[in-house]
Structure 1
Amino acid sequence: MSEAVMRRSVLKKQQLVEEIKEKIDKAKLMVIFDFTGIDANAMADFRKEIKKNNAEIKVIKNTILYRACNGTELYDKIDIFKGPSAVVFAYEDVVAAAKALKEFLKENEAAKVKAGLVEGSFVSAEGIDALASLPSREELLAQLFATMMAPVTNFVRVLNAVPQKAVMVLNAIKEEKEKQG
């Protein structure tokens, strides 16, 4: 191999490391998983599914991934970078992406989560599983809205009950007078 070809190859790898590093910095969630036993069709379907959550999946050589993780909390954990690795990068809703990955891996039992980063902090495979078990953003917003509206709703019910009870008392008095008279 000539020196020029080797130099191009090194430059290409450095460029790839920089691209992956940018994705890591941009992503709110990054999950590295072993994709053993997953066929190309299943992976293609998962790519389409994960894209709906403003996320993407990349299959990356471990050496490139390891270099790109330099400066992150994953860099110390060398065991993560063994075996086949694919990475999910989620740019918005971390819970939705984690849920999608969990569902995908349920169908492909040989594959498993290795570890990840959430907002730049290391998260173990168990942590990613716990994240996937959280309610979605929409569910959390609905719960928050219901909690905020509860006092207002109760106040309106109390206000409605006062005239209602007054009408019932007046109706009872009317019925009593009709019986007497």
Structure 2
Amino acid sequence: MPILRAQKEELVTRLISVLQDSRVSIIFAYKALNMKANDTLRTNAFNAGAKVKMVSNNLLKLILKGIGREMEIPSKQLAISYGFTDEVEAAKVLVEFAKETETLEVLGGWVDGNFFDASQVKTLATLPNKETLQAQLVGRLGGLIGSLAYSLNYPIQKFAFVIEAVKSAQPATAEAPKADLSAVATSEEGEATVETVENATPTDEQQTEKTQTEELEADSPDEVKEPDTVEEEAEVV
């Protein structure tokens, strides 16, 4: 049953809106695609987060014009596969199905608005999927974090080992020798003797007073000696 003009316009408008919001859209040509193969292709695309829509050449030109994209359209039966999540899985479904059945030919597509030719789409299909890339990224980040933690902790551990080695290498503290009490006593006696000698030596003031006293005694007259007897006293008279 042919599609009416209004239905065509509605289909073009809907696909323009969908392709503008999609993350990946791939155009491919198909031939001798029976009902079973068609169902298998759609199921595989659905499991990869994508959808498949068969369109005529004229409608495809209108759709590409509506989203501002250009591509050479061959005179073949064409279809569009588009997805919103993983561009790698969407490309892988078409490339693998084309190898297995030889009923598809990838022509090109867009990923995040960037055009990919047929060879680039095939290269995209060989990349790891999103989950694998995330796991690899987490593994590498974990390894980097572990290496960084080891690099930061190693100097501290090494310093602690050095401190422990220094403590282990230090000898036990020797006891201080007992003081010789006899030597101390002798020293104290010697100090006492010196102090006595120093005290026995007269000072300058004492020497001066002694000299003055001797001079006064020398200048004074001799004391009169009292007579021992009466006779001596009479004789004197």
Whether these two folds match at TM > 0.5 is yes
Partner secondary structure for residue 52 of structure 2:
strand
Separation of aligned partners in 2, 1:72 and 1:156: 50
Alpha-carbon offset, residue 73 of structure 1: 5.7
Change beyond 3 A, Cα 1:36–1:148: same
Equivalent position of 1:20 in the other structure: 15
Separation of aligned partners in 1, 2:76 and 2:25: 18
Alpha-carbon offset, residue 121 of structure 1: 2.1
Separation of aligned partners in 2, 1:155 and 1:125: 43
Which of 123, 129, 134 lines up with 1:141 in the alignment?
A: 134
Alpha-carbon offset, residue 81 of structure 1: 4.4
Task: For residues 27-61 of structure 1, give each alpha carbon's deviation from its aligned partner in whole angstroms, at most 9, with x where no partner exists.
Answer: 11111111113222011011111111221001111
Partner secondary structure for residue 106 of structure 2:
strand
Alpha-carbon offset, residue 132 of structure 1: 0.6
On the 8 A contact 1:33/1:113 being kept in 2, the answer is yes
Where structure 1 has 5 or more consecutive residues not aligned to the other structure, the ranges are: 1-7, 167-181
Q: Which amino acid aligns with 1:51?
A: F
Equivalent position of 1:172 in the other structure: none
Equivalent position of 2:204 in the other structure: none
On the 8 A contact 1:53/1:97 being kept in 2, the answer is yes
Equivalent position of 2:42 in the other structure: 47
Task: For residues 114-166 of structure 1, give each alpha carbon's deviation from its aligned partner in whole angstroms, at most 9, with x where no partner exists.
Answer: 11111122211111111111111111111111111113334666869x79xx8
Task: For residues 51-109 of structure 1, give each alpha carbon's deviation from its aligned partner in whole angstroms, at most 9, with x where no partner exists.
Answer: 1122100111111111011144643x33x242000110111111111111111111122
Q: Which amino acid aligns with 2:17?
A: E
* Residue identity (%): 26
Change beyond 3 A, Cα 1:26–1:50: same
**Is the counterpart of residue 56 in structure 1 residue 68 in structure 2?**
no
**Is the counterpart of residue 123 in structure 1 residue 91 in structure 2?**
no
- Please show how residues 80-99 of structure 1 align to structure 2 within 5 Å: 80-99=73-92
Q: TM-score, normalised by structure 1?
A: 0.75
Partner secondary structure for residue 38 of structure 1:
coil
Separation of aligned partners in 2, 1:155 and 1:68: 52
Equivalent position of 1:111 in the other structure: 104
Separation of aligned partners in 1, 2:68 and 2:18: 15
On the 8 A contact 1:74/1:116 being kept in 2, the answer is no
Q: TM-score, normalised by structure 2?
A: 0.59
**Is the counterpart of residue 70 in structure 1 residue 60 in structure 2?**
no
Q: Which amino acid aligns with 1:54?
A: G
Greater relative contact order structure (CA < 8 Å, 6+ sep): 1
Separation of aligned partners in 2, 1:130 and 1:148: 26
Equivalent position of 2:29 in the other structure: 34
Separation of aligned partners in 1, 2:103 and 2:144: 49
Equivalent position of 1:174 in the other structure: none
